[in-house]
Structure 1
Amino acid sequence: MAEDALEREESLSQIPSYVKAIPTGREKGVFLAVDLGGTNCRVCSVNLHGDGTYSLVQTKYPIPRPLTVNPSYKPLFRFIAEKIRDFLEEHPESDIHDGSPNTNGSHLRREDFQKLGFTFSFTYEQHSLAKGSVMFWDKGWDIPEALGRDPCEMLQEGLDELRVPVLVVALANDSVGTLLTRTYTSSKGGTSVRTTTTIGAIFGTGTNAAYVEKLENVKRLHHRADFQTRQPEDLMVINTEWGCFGDGQDGLLPSTEYDEILDAASPHPRQEMTEKRISGLYLGELLRLIVVRLADENLFSMSLHPESPVYQRDGIECSLLSNIAGDDSNDCLQAIGYITDTFRAANVSVDDACAIQVISKAIARRAARLAGVALAAIVVQCGQRRESPPMTSSSLLSSKTDTARVDQKPILETKASSSRSTYKNGFSAMCRRFRAFVYGVVRSLGLGWLLRPAMAAKKNSGAPAVISPKPQLSSSATMTNDGDDVGAIEVGVDGSLIEFYPKFEQEMREAVRDVLGPDYDEKRLRIGMAKDGSGVGAALVALAATMQNET
């Protein structure tokens, strides 16, 4: 399937990024970058020091919802242009043209404008490093007039209207930017060793991945004149758009009635089928739909306020799943506190909290395992299924990194205000129905293993089971980069889901191991955070565009 997409020019996946040179860590320069994500717009000034390090000044601006669902593209791109102008006014040190005006371009030649790389985190067809066309919107966005248009041109139009002396010179995907950033920061000044960053992946509001492919395999570009002189060692970074996997292929992905309800209510039904099972934008909504069903069946002891977010579409954010899953206590006091505050609920019982915790873990575990399957597919496509050496090129230079795991940051705790509720008359019968419903949901998600500890406890004690699954840590989850680099695959990742959700990386790794088989040396897969990947990556693409005269 991957090979077919690399051949078919009309394919919506395996999109060439036109990035043909991988950072060595020696790159220098100051560039502006804009990262347009599903929730925020970040404006950055990136100073590449040339030794694998960089300095970053950035400001994040929430995107007003009316701009994301709008018939016209002009309000959104004018908003972005205004924030670039505001950023330069707030941070004049970010203007590399000493003595030049940074809010009025009348005294500068256009070629002297400050260069900007644009990370556009939506699906687009790329035609060069500086040109593309929007294919369709995801993450709940819908701007019809932008379809088929070039994101760089739309942004440049907004900048020119405001007379901001900035030139958009590069178009970057967030996963491509993450791959480039991880390569740059892990290169340590360009010391050549035998490892290469092959994959960049995003697990945040949306999900996507990019990887390094042999240009010879990208047959959809072979007819172009500028690729006629390609060499066997030439490479191309590919944007997989894996969030679209399964579109138009019913039954290909695991599905529940809650997936169907969520999909039918989305702006793009039957599209982004993988994204709707992995990305943080949708996981909170899946939990909300299940909680609504439980509440309608009167299976909770807690009571919900009539204006509870549970009754509002997209009223529950993915961060709640991380917070609830992070409570490892037997009495779920922290989870009770989160549920009480977020759901606007009263009298939340331990059984209520434990059931919601089990469902939260099931939803996130399915997301992580599907991500692991997709990651394993890229490993196979890269030809590194077994002990084959990595792809090599003079442009692929990196070295050992400081760590090969994602450090799990502590989750902020709120004071738990609820305590264990007492059973009322007939409550035991309701609990049995409640538990049966929860078990059914978990099994429908393909995660029946979660129920085994609870069933065993119930069988042994005869008491109602409190479900608190604790999968065993894999030894690779805390490995370092010591050891042989031959065949190593370094994966740069970014996004709040993999950064904050407990054991997301571990579950993803286990899925990779399940797909590739027990003989696969999973320690070769070295996963590390590529913080600020979208911004720094856009700066690196802007540098490449400037050097290749693609402006």
Structure 2
Amino acid sequence: MSPSNARSPSGLLVRAGQIAREFDFGSHDARKVTAHFVEHMRNALEHENSLSQIPSYVRAIPTGREKGVFLAVDLGGTNCRVCSVKLHGDGTYSLVQTKYPIPRPLTVNPSYKPLFRFIAEKIRDFLEEHPEADIHNGDPGADLPHPRREDFRKLGFTFSFTYEQHSLAKGSVMFWDKGWDIPEAIGRDPCEMLQEGLDELEVPVLVVALANDSVGTLLTRAYTSSQDRTSARKMTTVGAIFGTGTNAAYVERLENIKRLHGRADFQTLQPDDLMVINTEWGCFGDGQDGLLPSTEYDDLLDAASPHPRQEMTEKRISGLYLGELLRLIVVRLADEKLFTMTLDPASPVFRKDGIESSLLSDIAADGSDNNSQSIAHIAGALRADNVSADDARAIQVISKAIARRAARLAGVALAAIIVQCDQRRESPTSTASTPLLSSKSGAAVRVSQKPIFGGSKVTGSSSSSRSTYRSGLSAVCRRFRAFVYGVVRSLGLGWLLRPAMAANRKPAVVSPEPEPPQLSPSSSTMTEDEDKDGRAIEVGVDGSLIEFYPRFEQEMREAVEDVLGPDYDEKRLRIGMAKDGSGVGAALVALAATMQNETA
């Protein structure tokens, strides 16, 4: 390309089209990746040392008829959100919440104590600042200045960092991401660390559940969509996050989770025993070079990340990275002197992570004939002058290609879950017909929690935690492994863990010409219409990417259809927003914890 042509608008658009095509992710590749994901999911259900397919220990699905008031804390990468959630028992809830920014010195600190004391302080402040969340119900113990520990308010804790879960109320931090680094917390239980801070401040709150945001999203969708159900066979199967990060949870038969079969509390399994699984699908494809769609810009992003060659699916789907992919391409086009616009030397384009993924959504939503809205967005976000219509069009073409690939890869991961769910679809789904039915006892239990500081008679989670702890030697080994993982990852040497993990795992089987996974025929005796309705796959979603990016859901659906083939009925897939999933979901996990204690 000659210099004169390179500087012309047509040269810019041609180059943009070339780059956009590098992000193509066709049907053949989608089926190949799905085959790997399915095999990965099934292998990870067997091996205890897997970093994905993590058991949540949630063994009941809400129906919308649950009642109670619970506290919830959502610890994210930037903010700590404290909520009070009142479940009304009709698929609706009331939410009071406050968001508190987390001081940076607490996120990079040798000790865990300052962070968890800060969270405890904010819980105390929240209870003082929101008396409207504490509705006195006339209980004689509600006004006691020193309530008994069993009468403490119950709290679910959404911990948005990588941890290994050991029971509903216990886990261990594996490593930090999002720029955090708290070495002393590695291998420790987030619930215990938070409870320690609460006890030091004498805040009458008991941490009864450890929640993952994707699990919370699944439970929230199940609770709020209850009124839409016309068949007891319909239940929420998947909860997925498409925001700054991405992850999913789904409902699995407990008999398939072989990594738990050696535990004393899982020796007796019933055919209808279920558990919600946290897939951690962001790491699907790790260690499988050439499996996922990749460009030179993906390689540049990965090399500059804190954990190279890890979280490879995450780096192609989540909002944390899509803006950075666009930035790297804009820098390349600027270096090639193809733009008409002039970039300020201090432009965010020249700073790592300088472009937010929201810019992709803003540009994609531009419905103007002359790209005037995109021009304004680009000028503001990039600190650029003289942005031309062709500049805007080129960035728009590339942005759409990046987002389309992200949506299609998300659809592939979702298709893998659908295949896994379908192969065990004949299992009973009676859990959808009674309020948070415990699969252990088979009895429905209602928990009408007291308002904040109320005198509830429901016991805490200590008995459940004790009953689900591993033996002493196993616990020590697990804690040591989590510590080693955290240290190695924090040094950027996570790739060293791959050989050891692969040695204990069956190799993924990916056919070079995989057949599209086919849905098995129904063995139900219901009528055709009832069967078609009852086999619906309910998916609860949350996150700014799927909420605000145009066509993200549609592109995701099209990828699912590409994978599952022409016989797949697209109407089976019911996707709905599950707002406040990390808060309401944590409350629902806390409810599940108290109920599973009562039925244990």
Which range, TM-score by smaller chain? Answer: 0.7 to 0.9
Partner of 2:377, secondary structure, is helix
Q: Which residue of 2 aligns with 1:20?
A: 59
Identify unmatched segments of 5+ residues in structure 1.
400-480
Listed one character per residue, the Cα deviations across residues 218-266 of structure 1 (whole Å, up to 9, x for unaligned) are 1111111111121011101000000011222222211222212222222
Partner of 1:213, secondary structure, is strand
Closer, same or farther: CA 496–112 of 1 in aligned 2, 3 Å: same
1:533 matched to 2:577:
no
Q: Which residue of 1 aligns with 2:334?
A: 295
Q: Which residue of 2 aligns with 1:305?
A: 344
Q: Which residue of 2 aligns with 1:549?
A: 597
Identify unmatched segments of 5+ residues in structure 2.
1-39, 436-528
Decide whether the 8 Å contact of 2:233 with 2:429 is kept in 1: no
Closer, same or farther: CA 391–53 of 1 in aligned 2, 3 Å: farther
The one-letter amino acid of 1:397's match is S
Q: Which residue of 2 aligns with 1:394?
A: 430
Structure 1 residue 331: Cα displacement: 1.2
Residue 270 of structure 1, aligned match among 309, 330, 335: 309
Residue 151 of structure 1, aligned match among 187, 190, 196: 190
CA distance in 2, matches of 1:341, 1:253: 33
Q: Which residue of 2 aligns with 1:242?
A: 281
Decide whether the 8 Å contact of 1:242 with 1:274 is kept in 2: yes
The one-letter amino acid of 2:432's match is L
CA distance in 2, matches of 1:381, 1:261: 33
Decide whether the 8 Å contact of 2:232 with 2:432 is kept in 1: no
Listed one character per residue, the Cα deviations across residues 338-391 of structure 1 (whole Å, up to 9, x for unaligned) are 01111111100111111111111111111101100000000000126xxx9664
CA distance in 1, matches of 2:363, 2:569: 33
The one-letter amino acid of 2:429's match is S
Closer, same or farther: CA 189–25 of 1 in aligned 2, 3 Å: farther
CA distance in 1, matches of 2:344, 2:256: 57
Decide whether the 8 Å contact of 2:82 with 2:122 is kept in 1: yes
CA distance in 2, matches of 1:499, 1:147: 34
1:29 matched to 2:68:
yes
Q: Which residue of 1 aligns with 2:239?
A: 200
The one-letter amino acid of 1:530's match is A
Q: Which residue of 2 aligns with 1:181?
A: 220
Decide whether the 8 Å contact of 1:105 with 1:165 is kept in 2: no
1:523 matched to 2:560:
no
Residue 108 of structure 1, aligned match among 141, 144, 147: 147
Q: Which residue of 2 aligns with 1:476?
A: none
CA distance in 2, matches of 1:274, 1:318: 16
Structure 1 residue 160: Cα displacement: 2.1
CA distance in 2, matches of 1:111, 1:310: 54
CA distance in 2, matches of 1:492, 1:134: 26
Structure 1 residue 185: Cα displacement: 1.1
CA distance in 1, matches of 2:546, 2:530: 23
Partner of 1:60, secondary structure, is strand
Structure 1 residue 484: Cα displacement: 4.3
Partner of 2:550, secondary structure, is coil
Q: TM-score, normalised by structure 1?
A: 0.80
1:126-525 matched pairs, under 5 angstroms: 126-188=165-227, 193-383=232-422, 391-397=427-433, 484-525=532-573
Closer, same or farther: CA 105–312 of 1 in aligned 2, 3 Å: farther
Q: Which residue of 1 aligns with 2:83?
A: 44
Decide whether the 8 Å contact of 1:140 with 1:266 is kept in 2: no
CA distance in 2, matches of 1:99, 1:331: 64
Decide whether the 8 Å contact of 2:232 with 2:430 is kept in 1: no
Task: After superposing the two structures, state which structure 1 stretch, 317-326 or 482-491, moved more.
Answer: 482-491
1:79-118 matched pairs, under 5 angstroms: 79-95=118-134, 107-118=146-157
Decide whether the 8 Å contact of 2:111 with 2:183 is kept in 1: yes
Structure 1 residue 89: Cα displacement: 1.4
Task: After superposing the two structures, state which structure 1 stretch, 180-189 or 540-549, moved more.
Answer: 180-189
Decide whether the 8 Å contact of 2:213 with 2:582 is kept in 1: yes
Decide whether the 8 Å contact of 1:30 with 1:47 is kept in 2: yes
- Please provide the CA RMSD for this pair: 2.6
Closer, same or farther: CA 186–285 of 1 in aligned 2, 3 Å: same
The one-letter amino acid of 1:321's match is L
Structure 1 residue 273: Cα displacement: 1.1
Partner of 2:45, secondary structure, is helix
Structure 1 residue 193: Cα displacement: 2.4
Structure 1 residue 72: Cα displacement: 3.0
Closer, same or farther: CA 314–72 of 1 in aligned 2, 3 Å: farther
CA distance in 1, matches of 2:278, 2:316: 19
Partner of 1:261, secondary structure, is helix
Q: TM-score, normalised by structure 2?
A: 0.74
Decide whether the 8 Å contact of 1:389 with 1:486 is kept in 2: no
Aligned residues: 466
The one-letter amino acid of 1:393's match is T
Q: Which residue of 1 aligns with 2:50?
A: 11
Greater relative contact order (CA < 8 Å, ≥ 6 in sequence): 2
Structure 1 residue 529: Cα displacement: 0.4
Report sequence identity in percent.
82
The one-letter amino acid of 2:552's match is F
CA distance in 2, matches of 1:317, 1:144: 29
The one-letter amino acid of 2:369's match is N
The one-letter amino acid of 1:533's match is G
CA distance in 2, matches of 1:97, 1:126: 35
1:123 matched to 2:159:
no
Listed one character per residue, the Cα deviations across residues 415-448 of structure 1 (whole Å, up to 9, x for unaligned) are xxxxxxxxxxxxxxxxxxxxxxxxxxxxxxxxxx
CA distance in 2, matches of 1:99, 1:87: 22
Regions of 4+ moved over 6 Å: 97-100
Partner of 2:432, secondary structure, is coil
